[in-house]
Amino acid sequence: MSENIFITEETLEGDEDGPLAGTTVAVKDNISTDGVRTTCGSKMLEDYVPPYDATVVSRLKDAGATIVGKTNMDEFGMGTTTETSFFGSTDNPAAPGHVPGGSSGGSAAAVAAGEADLALGSDTGGSIRCPAAFCGVVGIKPTYGLVSRYGLVAYGNSLEQIGPFGSSVEDAASLLDVIAGPDGRDATTREPPRADGAADSSYAAAADGDVDGLTIGVPTELLEGADEGVVETFWDAIDDLEDQGATYEEVSLPSVEHAVEAYYVIAMSEASSNLARFDGVRYGHAAGEKGENDNWNEAFSKARQEGFGDEVKRRILLGTYALSAGYHDKYYKKAQDARAWVKQDFDEALSNADVLASPTMPVPPFELGESLEDPLTMYLADANTVPVNLANLPAISVPAGETDGLPVGIQLVGPAFGEREIIRAGSALE
């Protein structure tokens, strides 16, 4: 069994009947659970207990699911390995001695280790798809606005979505059926379109493996620089889809050259704003003894110095700098312009293809401790996943095979609210 999967192990029973009755679900520890500690993997929120359920948690309970615990994660969702957690790293049950990916590494590991049937994670720049690929499970990042973010502790509001993990595409899709849909407490949510002419419009029903006539676009830029074994495994998966009646063509997304830089400017800027609330007074770790710090500025500084880890501090500093007077137009505005370019490129590519395919991650899982001293390497590992968040599109990571005994995932990207297309294509690979 993989170690350190859960930060808090506490069982929450759902209704006695429902589509998920008898199903166990693990929940990432940045999703609010009424009466159960929600830490975001941080010392800052080590003792925080929310007084309400996130919308997705309420829907889980209504569907009859049994929540078995809150899973480990990179601190405030900032990381690709689950090693920035204040509570320590999580080992990868599919590749012992290696990271499970991040930031939702605990959720993917819970499914891979059989500790839960299903799990919820959140995806700001690949935080569902990366651990799904590294742990050899299925992870779905929904279209922005398909799933309510109410009760998700914010990191990058314009980028993040809650999504499911499962051991199969159908299992993950069945969880998406439960959590998807509009929510009056999240104004960004929308009613998803129904499947045209389908007797059963559920996402789970789309996992029928029928890819005959499917057109797959392969962005050449997302293969450049990838590990040779990963690329070979990816093409084997494309060959498998071709054997089942799909066709593929190479496409170009020239804007992705700037996607990682644009993503981190936007994400760090939003993080700088969102994490300002953790001051040790309204929320979070309070430094020193009561009455010890009479100066508010000193107390605020000390609380954040003690409460946040190095990676969170790094991103707050860079985000604050990007938003500061004199630099906003130079960095943040240019990043938003690049984001619009990325969205335009994806829309153009998807006008000629049903789905786009790439390796989920350009490399196999890192060894534990390998990337901690080199944050830039960790950021660049997100090259294939962050463009999808910039474009607010749906994507799924499905196991494609192994290289040198390590799991490799294939990422399938669809048009906005095209979850059924990527679920159908993904199920053909099982």
pLDDT at 1: 44
Q: Give residue 326's identity as a one-letter amino acid code.
A: G
* Alpha-carbon gap, residue 123 to 133, rounded angstroms: 13
User: Using CA atoms, how far apart are residues 202 and 97, in angstroms rounded to an integer?
Assistant: 38
Residue 127 a catalytic site member: yes
Annotation: CATH topology of 1-429: Amidase signature (AS) enzymes (3.90.1300)
Predicted confidence at residue 374, as pLDDT, reads: 81
Token pair 């929510």: residue: 183
DSSP H helix total and E strand total for the chain: 12, 11
28 belongs to the catalytic site: yes
Residue 24, beta-bridge partner list: 66
Question: Is there a contact between 230 and 370 (Cβ–Cβ < 8 Å)?
Answer: no
**Splitting the chain (430 residues) into consecutive groups of 10 residues, what average pLDDT does each group show?**
85 93 98 98 96 98 98 98 97 97 98 98 98 98 98 97 98 98 97 75 96 98 97 98 98 97 97 94 77 74 94 96 91 97 98 98 95 82 97 98 98 98 98
Catalytic residue among 58, 103, 174, 397: 103
The domain ranges of the chain are 1-429
Which of 42, 104, 127, 358 does the annotation list as catalytic?
127
Show the beta-strand stretches assigned E in 200-339. 215-219, 247-251
Matching residue, tokens 């962050």: 386
Verify whether residue 2 is a known catalytic residue: no
DSSP letter string over 46-89?
TT---SS--HHHHHHHHTT-EEEEEE--SGGG--SSS-S-TT--
Q: Which of 28, 61, 70, 141 is catalytic?
A: 28
